[in-house]
Structure 1
Amino acid sequence: MTKTVLITGAGSGFGRLTAFDLSRQGYRVIAGVQIWPQAWQLRQEIAAEGLENIEVIKLDLLDDIDRAHALRYDVDVLFNNAGVAHSGTLTDVPMSLLRANFETNVFSVMELTKGFIRQMIERGNGKIVFNSSDAGLQTPPFGGAYSATKYAIEAIAATLREELKPKGIAVATVQPGLYLTGFNDTALEASTYWYDPETALLPGWEPPFTLAGQEDPQGMVDVIVKVITGEIATYRNVYPPSMEHETREVQAAEWDLTV
């Protein structure tokens, strides 16, 4: 039987590429996008690729109507991919943006996930994959707001893994490092809209708004697809390997840090 995967944030980046790759492997994909123009654009791209087993739906995680519509689908795997990033020093990032980051990346994700958990428990099986981040395991400067949301996702995923295991539901996480999807660069540039050097306590980002060392996202997508399909069975999946090595070193060093 063909398995169905629902992907949030499928309008671009990891979500879009994962939807296409899963479709090519024969999976039925429900591709959720935030706004209607993204739905139109993605449908044109799907048609151009000749893919027939991707259904595009509008799924703004903050929209009650959109979430209710998504929950009409019976899915085998939920890939929680959608998210936003607000960058800047925690001393200066507006509280409204910090709250907005949690609303999108944590609270709305959990609300959608709880709906599918009920469905999966009734069926007796299912899988939930969270797109966390390497920033959910180590915290870079200027990234505290985003990291805080991903640390929260790490805690949520770890808890659900234990709570849902007896119900036949698997939980896994993926932790991308630096990939060139546009997500990182726009997060840096967006901070210039609110940053005021006259009132800020600490320096902000300066152009160019492009992080060095970002890699081709396809390598991470290959890992995500294998986690979704079960070819990779590990719970935590930091990639690339160099980022996993760095993260392990940073976490180990924290035990010896002094104030």
Structure 2
Amino acid sequence: MSTTVLITGAGSGFGRGTALALALARLGHRVIAGVQIWPQAWELRAAAERAGVELEVIKLDLYSEIDRAHALTYDIDVLFNNAGIANSGTLTDIPMSLVRENFETNVFAPLELTKGFVRKMIARGSGKIVFNSSDAGLQTPPFGGAYSATKYAIEAIAATLREELKPQGITVATVQPGFYLTGFNDTALEASTYWYDPATALLPGWKPPYTLQGQEDPQPMIDVIVKVITGENKRYRNVFPPSMEQETRQAQAAEWDLML
């Protein structure tokens, strides 16, 4: 059955890849790709034209009341909450302004958009919400506490909505990408060099060339996301690759036996 899908953060990374992959699947779905700034809209439209697929691109800066209101004029079947940012650094030293920015972008803004679409989905009696969480929302690496905290929050929000909305005919799913080469991890680490000052910091910071070896091709993860959106994959939680799922399960189990 044909569905209308809105993807946020489609200007780059998993959002862009998912928008193009879903359109390329030629399953008859209407794909609305939301991007943060106008130059991304032009570039993504050009990419869709080169690929020979139909892709409706809109400007959707989640901070913009105008953009959110425009997005809410669409009647959609699936909302893929993908837009997000990451600021790295130790929690003792990262500026609180960046912690707040992480929560505004990764938690509060997508929740506000979701609440708007939930109202329409409840009235219709159907719909699906997919959250792009992270493996970092299930286990916390050093230097990533601010980002992980937002993804732990998304895990709680998704789990709550899953139970609250199930009787209304609305399903909720999560995807938790592992370590993929989309540029997201690289820029998250680079951003910390703009504020980190070893003369005043309480703890050591990242040191170039960082620890970004081993990032994987994102296409297999994009394939998983497409299957979750279309319903081919019906799992609620989708940690990928499988090796990361096993690692996460072991890390969570080990926390029960940690000693001070």
With the length of structure 1 as denominator, give the TM-score of the two structures.
0.98
Residue 163 (structure 1) aligns with:
164
Which aligned runs of 4 or more in structure 1 are off by greater than 4 angstroms?
none
Structural mapping, 1:94-105, within 5 Å: 94-105=95-106
Superposed CA offset, 1:95-129 (max 9, x none):
00000000000000100000000010011000000
**One-letter amino acid of the structure 2 residue matched with residue 206 of structure 1:** K
Matches of 1:242 and 1:18 in 2, distance apart? 22
Structural mapping, 1:3-14, within 5 Å: 3-14=3-14
Unpaired segments of 5 or more residues in structure 2? none
Identity %: 79
Structural mapping, 1:14-25, within 5 Å: 14-25=14-25
Residue 31 (structure 1) aligns with:
33
Q: 1:2 offset after TM fit, Å?
A: 2.5
Matches of 1:31 and 1:246 in 2, distance apart? 33
**One-letter amino acid of the structure 2 residue matched with residue 30 of structure 1:** I
Residue 141 (structure 2) aligns with:
140
Secondary structure of the residue that 1:141 maps to in structure 2? coil
Matches of 2:226 and 2:93 in 1, distance apart? 37
**One-letter amino acid of the structure 2 residue matched with residue 102 of structure 1:** F
Superposed CA offset, 1:138-168 (max 9, x none):
0000000000000000000000000000000
Matches of 2:196 and 2:257 in 1, distance apart? 34
**One-letter amino acid of the structure 2 residue matched with residue 127 of structure 1:** K
**One-letter amino acid of the structure 2 residue matched with residue 77 of structure 1:** V
Residue 116 (structure 2) aligns with:
115
Secondary structure of the residue that 1:237 maps to in structure 2? strand
Instruction: Tell me if structure 2 keeps the 8 A contact 1:186–1:209.
Output: no
Matches of 1:122 and 1:209 in 2, distance apart? 49
With the length of structure 2 as denominator, give the TM-score of the two structures.
0.98
Matches of 1:95 and 1:13 in 2, distance apart? 26
Unpaired segments of 5 or more residues in structure 1? none
Equivalent pairs, count: 258
Residue 223 (structure 2) aligns with:
222
Secondary structure of the residue that 2:237 maps to in structure 1? coil
Secondary structure of the residue that 2:217 maps to in structure 1? coil
Q: 1:202 offset after TM fit, Å?
A: 0.5
Secondary structure of the residue that 1:221 maps to in structure 2? helix
Instruction: Tell me if structure 2 keeps the 8 A contact 1:184–1:210.
Output: no
Matches of 1:47 and 1:23 in 2, distance apart? 11
Residue 191 (structure 2) aligns with:
190
Matches of 1:133 and 1:184 in 2, distance apart? 12
Instruction: Tell me if structure 2 keeps the 8 A contact 1:81–1:130.
Output: yes
Instruction: Tell me if structure 2 keeps the 8 A contact 1:185–1:210.
Output: no
Secondary structure of the residue that 2:57 maps to in structure 1? strand
Matches of 1:166 and 1:32 in 2, distance apart? 29
Residue 233 (structure 1) aligns with:
234
Residue 49 (structure 2) aligns with:
47
Matches of 1:239 and 1:27 in 2, distance apart? 24
**One-letter amino acid of the structure 2 residue matched with residue 8 of structure 1:** T
Instruction: Tell me if structure 2 keeps the 8 A contact 1:31–1:56.
Output: yes
Change (3 A) 1:16 1:210: farther
**One-letter amino acid of the structure 1 residue matched with residue 87 of structure 2:** H
Matches of 2:166 and 2:99 in 1, distance apart? 32
Matches of 2:141 and 2:211 in 1, distance apart? 15
Q: 1:50 offset after TM fit, Å?
A: 1.0
Q: What is the RMSD computed on CA atoms of the aligned residues?
A: 0.8
